[in-house]
């Protein structure tokens, strides 16, 4: 096997949450291009169907299921959709996430809990459901955030807390599952990428923040994050577990 072959995902099956738009849509396409059959989950069924049709039209194997990751039963159904359709489950990309930008003294219990329910608990329910079906050699990639590592330009207590907790969850699940079950568990911590979420922010303020704090003074691009996800999902990363890979243009090194 050549080094390039180790990055291939042929014959593997990947579940991606939050796959109906944004970064998740890109991850789904990238994993498919790397050779994996993909099983997509998200709450927005129309957008999810559109993504699935695009992958299928490009020759990829794809299944899509409407999924609310805050419901453990929904998570179990999505995991089983992979084994029902393809007989196996090798990769989980825990991408589903939401965020708020509310000053801490004005953030309501409902707003804070809502972010934790999706970003942290949803990731745990999905990891739990998939780990029950995965074989040794499988990989879980949790999508955290640079805001788990550094301060934000805006008030985001719930989001930052949820993503920092996700990194802690990554370490613990790696400790529990890598040796005993052969499942590697890692995280990526994206910086600011071109997406609908960043497009909805104050562009001048965000650009100024990136310029002040990052070594690569621009937004990240989807393919740059896709490469990190494919790497951690693949056999090229077979000796990496419990790690958080910052893909942030150097922001977390300042």
Quick: pLDDT tens for 46-63: 999 999 999 999 999 999
- For residues 211 and 205, the answer to whether their CB atoms sit within 8 Å is no
The CATH code that applies to domain 5-244 is 3.40.50.720
Return the DSSP state at 146.
G
Residue 87 CA to residue 151 CA, distance in Å, equals: 43
Q: Where are the domains of the chain?
A: 5-244
Q: What's the whole-number average pLDDT of the chain? A: 95
Residue 218 near residue 192 (C-beta atoms within 8 A):
no
Pick from 99, 94, 203: nearest CA to 157:
99
Specify the range with the lowest mean pLDDT, choosing from 40-44, 132-136, 193-197, 246-250.
193-197
pLDDT class of 214 with cuts at 50, 70, 90? confident
Q: Where residue 196 falls among pLDDT bands split at 50, 70, 90?
A: low
Burial bucket for residue 181 (CB in 10 Å: 0-12, 13-18, 19+): middle
Confidence check: pLDDT of 34 > 90:
yes
Rounded CA gap, 47 and 49, in Å? 5
Bridge partners, residue 220, by sequence: 193
Length of the chain: 254
pLDDT at 86: 98
Q: Tell which residue, 50, 6, 55, 11, has the closest CA to residue 30.
A: 55
- Is the pLDDT at 68 greater than 70? The verdict is yes
pLDDT > 80? residue 78 = yes
pLDDT of residue 9: 98
Closest C-alpha among 22, 20, 55 to residue 38: 55
Residues belonging to the active site: 159
- pLDDT of 251: 93
Confirm if 232 and 240 have CB atoms less than 8 A apart.
yes
pTM over 0.75: yes
Dmax over CA atoms of the chain, in Å, equals: 56
Full strand arrangement of the beta sheet holding 13-17 = 62-66, 37-42, 13-17, 91-94, 139-143, 184-190, 244-247
User: Does the pLDDT of residue 197 top 70, yes or no?
Assistant: no
SS3 41: strand
Which residue is associated with the tokens 């949803």? 122
Residue 100 has a pLDDT of 83
Residue 199 confidence (pLDDT) above 80: no
pLDDT at 95: 97
Structure tokens at 30: 């990238």
pLDDT of 169-183, one tens digit each? Answer: 999 999 999 999 999
* Integer Cα distance of 148 and 167 in angstroms: 8
**pLDDT category of residue 206 using cuts at 50, 70 and 90:** confident
**Does residue 218 or residue 100 have the better pLDDT?**
218
């Amino acid at each position: 096997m050549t080094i390039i072959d180790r990055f291939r995902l042929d014959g593997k099956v990947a579940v991606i949450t939050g796959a109906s738009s944004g970064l998740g849509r890109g991850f789904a396409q990238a994993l498919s291009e790397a050779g994996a059959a993909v099983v997509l989950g998200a709450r927005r069924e129309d957008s999810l169907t559109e993504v699935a049709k695009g992958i299928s039209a490009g020759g990829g194997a794809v299944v899509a299921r409407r999924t609310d990751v805050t419901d453990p039963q929904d998570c179990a159904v999505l995991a089983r959709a992979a084994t029902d359709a393809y007989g196996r489950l090798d990769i989980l990309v825990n991408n589903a996430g939401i965020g708020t930008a509310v000053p801490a003294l004005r953030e309501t219990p409902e707003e804070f809990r809502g972010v934790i329910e999706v970003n942290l608990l949803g990731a745990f329910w999905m990891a739990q459901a998939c780990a029950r079906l995965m074989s040794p050699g499988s990989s879980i990639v949790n999508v955290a955030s640079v805001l788990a590592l550094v301060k934000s330009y805006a008030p985001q207590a719930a989001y930052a807390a949820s993503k920092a907790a996700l990194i802690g969850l990554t370490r613990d699940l790696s400790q529990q599952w890598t040796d005993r079950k052969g499942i590697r568990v890692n995280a990526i911590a994206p910086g600011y990428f071109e997406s609908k979420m960043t497009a909805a922010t104050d562009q001048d303020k965000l650009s100024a923040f990136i310029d002040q704090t990052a070594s690569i003074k621009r937004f990240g691009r989807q393919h740059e994050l896709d490469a990190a996800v494919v790497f951690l999902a693949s056999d090229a990363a077979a000796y990496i577990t419990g790690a958080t890979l910052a893909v942030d243009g150097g922001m977390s090194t300042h």
